[in-house]
Amino acid sequence: MTGWPPLSLLLLLLLLSLSAPVRAGSVIAPPWVDAELNPCSSESWQLVRWPADGRCYSIFQRGPCPASQELVWDSAGGRAVCACPTGHLEHAATARCYRRHSRGPCPRRHFFTDGAGRATCRPFGECAPGHIFWPADGRCHERLTRGPCARGELLALNPLTLEPECGCSRSGQMARSYWPHTDSCYQEYTRGPCPHGLLFVFNASRQTVECSCRPQMREHYHSDTGQCFPQQARGPCPHGNLFVYNNSTGRTECRCEPGGLRLPATGACYRGYTQGACAGGQFVVPAADEPRHGVCTDNPCRRGELFFPTDGRCHRVGERGPCPAGQLVHYEPYRGVSHRGACGCSARLRLNYWPEDGRCYQQLTRGPCPPQHAFVFNAASGRTECRCERRRGRAVGAGVCGAPPALQDTAAPPPTERPSPGGREPAPAADGGRECRCPPGTVADRGRGRCRPAPRPLQMVRITR
């Protein structure tokens, strides 16, 4: 790699200057602009001093660095260093940089990616015929479709390297997808560059691509509007529907997305147990007479609770509720706001996750802990732990977690023992031991752990006229 072209470097510095905070009408300089640490910056902001030879080189270019690396600024060390460009990883054996998720130094059908502490080679995933594995997202995408590519590009295998790549070509395997007016490629029977209601197709008679819609395009033709739409898209359908082809009727139709419930009044579909088109405080539930239809009903759950259709009850997030042992109530996977609860456990639930057994437990319960301990989250360490929890009436004595000493001691206190804090006095217990009781005229305030004056009894006053 020889570095960025000068124009790209100038654009980068321009963007840097525009995005920097402005104080009193001046732009804050980048960290390498320091005459003491980097004398070259007094000549130009684009220059940094290389410690080995004391010469000045352009930042973000190769300069004195090995091939494939570039010169960057190490803010912590206050000096210029060689490193891989953004989006690249260093191969430790050769000290060369390769683009992340590319083949790099790896064998065929492997890709170069982050490993345990250093970059490593990993094999491609297995895909169905006609599909291509894309290392960046770890998924399989259909060949010659847009897939993970930018608009105007299609996913294909490079015939020379057999690596997956996004691109566009007027010849070869993409000839039937090439749109010459914008020098871009589109998947057939998608909208592509076409106006609403027309699809991008290849005309075999004319041997050219065009925007078209005809009744003969049965799997995409909408008879009510006389227009064509891609399958599995919304097309002319109401909210929450997909435009699909029904093999039984031989016609296209609107169908609810998976998990959606249709509101008969509008034909729109909404996910069950979301608000949808319902009023505030309500959500959509399956209709009793037609499970595929939805009706609006009041949400019985309070803030912080989720509804479980299995038992028809509300359960608080973070508690076990109806979940199996080792799992807790949490929000179901959904991009919007769902009021339906789900059971599960993962390391992402770090307030409840116990890495020793890979299970989740409710806080301030025993959970996986020894007797008389509480399962809590330590904010300082960022981990869960077992703690002798004082707030739950436990204390540590002689390295042992148990009940407070005042409750453990069964021997009678000496006659000179003072009343306990809060005004409570030692008194004989039913088991022959000692316990603290409030003096006459006072009652125990269990919330504060002390005694308070007893409330006066209500007096009935007769009113005569």
> Following CA atoms 49, 51, 57, 58 in sequence, which dihedral angle do they give, to the nearest 10 degrees?
-70
Which CA distances in Å does 139 have to 132, 135, 136, 142, 167? 8, 7, 8, 10, 18
pLDDT tens for each residue of 417-446 = 444 444 544 454 444 444 566 776 676 765
pLDDT tens for each residue of 75-114 = 989 999 999 999 999 998 888 999 999 999 999 899 999 8
As given in the structure block, the two tokens for residue 397 are 């004595």
pLDDT at position 26: 62
- Classify strands 96-99 and 110-114 as parallel, antiparallel or unpaired: unpaired
pLDDT at position 162: 83
Instruction: Give the global pTM.
Output: 0.62
Question: 308, 351 in Cβ contact below 8 A?
Answer: no
pLDDT at position 399: 52
Separation of first and last alpha carbons in the chain: 105
Phi, psi at 123, each rounded to 5°: -75, 155
Question: 89, 114 in Cβ contact below 8 A?
Answer: yes
pLDDT at position 400: 61
Is the four-CA dihedral 434, 436, 439, 440 of positive or negative sign? negative
pLDDT at position 116: 73
pLDDT at position 410: 37
pLDDT at position 442: 72
Question: Which residues are within 8 A (CB) of 298 and not within 5 positions of it... i.e. 6 or more apart?
Answer: 281, 282
pLDDT at position 424: 47
Cα gap 281→299, rounded to integer Å:
6
Q: Residue 110: name the closest of 100, 99, 102, 98 by CA.
A: 102
Cα gap 210→180, rounded to integer Å:
11
Q: Where are the domains of the chain?
A: 6-83, 260-298, 300-362, 366-404
**Which residue(s) pair with 199 in the sheet?**
212
Neighbours of 258 (CB within 10 A): 7
Instruction: Please report which helix (H) or strand (E) contains residue 372, including its range.
Output: none
pLDDT at position 441: 66
Cα gap 223→170, rounded to integer Å:
34
Which CA distances in Å does 17 have to 12, 27, 30, 261, 335? 9, 6, 8, 51, 36
Neighbours of 229 (CB within 10 A): 24
Phi, psi at 135, each rounded to 5°: -60, -30
**One pLDDT digit (tens) per residue for the chain, 465 residues:** 444 444 444 445 554 554 444 444 567 889 999 988 999 999 999 999 999 999 999 999 999 999 999 999 999 899 999 999 999 999 988 889 999 999 999 998 999 998 777 899 999 999 999 999 999 999 999 999 999 999 999 999 988 888 899 999 999 889 999 999 999 999 999 999 999 999 999 999 999 999 999 999 999 999 999 999 999 999 999 999 999 999 999 999 999 999 999 999 999 999 999 999 999 999 999 999 999 999 999 999 999 999 999 999 999 999 999 999 999 999 998 888 999 999 999 998 999 999 999 999 999 999 999 988 999 999 999 999 999 866 555 555 445 676 554 444 333 344 444 444 445 444 544 444 445 667 766 767 655 566 767 665 544 434 344
